[in-house]
Structure 1
Amino acid sequence: MKEQNHIETILNSLDGIERAEARPFMHTRVMARLKEESNFWTRTGSVIAKPVVAVCCLVTILTVNIYLIVDGNNKQRAETVTTAGTESDILQNENFILASNTSYDFNK
């Protein structure tokens, strides 16, 4: 008896079903979307707009920035170690002498 009632309730639940109706202008929207041209920029925009791509780009940019900052600090430390040790080394450099002569104004 209990099983029969269960089957009856299931069958009776289908009595109130009505035909599904689409929202207004749904057909027009779907047809416009189907006819939309798929050029390079629309496809590129749809790929870039995906969250996975955006997160990957962000992680890549942050990784490159961190690498450049750390690498730049290491190069600065190396440059400070390899600078000239004495004043005579600096004064005997031809580039330094040329640079100091070109900045002198003879018209004074």
Structure 2
Amino acid sequence: MKKQEHIDAILDSFDGIKRAETRPFMYTRVRARIQEESNFWMKTSSVITRPLVAVCCLVSIITVNVYLIIDADHRQKAETMATAGTESDILQNENFILASNTGYDFNK
């Protein structure tokens, strides 16, 4: 019996329900808001704030950074190899000068 009384109490609570009413000029406010969103900056900001756009920007920034770091390492290795070749050429030239000067007699 208690269960049936509880169900009847719940169903009786719906007796006083009325249809929901909107505030005055609600339709015009909604229409103004929809037209306001057609602004260029509103559309742009709504696109930029999407998670997919943010993830794509983040991935592209990380990709560019990794490329620049790897490219800098390759450039540094290439410069080291080029510098090593130049230094060996300079040392060979100094040895050549020293070898040619050893035959010179300073006592003359």
Aligned-pair CA distance for 1:76: 1.0
Question: Counterparts of 2:77 and 2:23 in 1: how far apart (Å)?
Answer: 68
Change (3 A) 1:23 1:86: farther
Equivalent-residue separation in structure 2 for 1:37 and 1:7 (angstroms): 47
TM-score (norm 1): 0.57
Map of 2:17 onto structure 1? 17
* Displacement of 1:37: 6.9
Q: In structure 2, list runs of 5 or more residues that go unmatched.
A: 93-108
Corresponding residue for residue 44 of structure 2: 44
- Which of structures 1 and 2 has the bigger CA Rg? 2
Gaps of 5+ in 1: 90-108
Whole-angstrom CA distance in 2 between matches of 1:80 and 1:23: 77
1:29 aligns to what? 29
User: Deviations along 1:2-46, whole A, 9 cap, x unmatched?
Assistant: 442232122023245344344676433311123347366543332
Count of matched residue positions in the alignment of Structure 1 and Structure 2: 89
TM-score normalised by the chain length of structure 2:
0.57
Q: Secondary structure at the match of 1:17?
A: coil
Aligned partner of 1:87 among 86, 90, 93: 90
Q: Which residue of 1 aligns with 2:102?
A: none
- RMSD of aligned alpha carbons: 3.1
Q: Whose helix fraction is larger, Structure 1's or Structure 2's?
A: 2
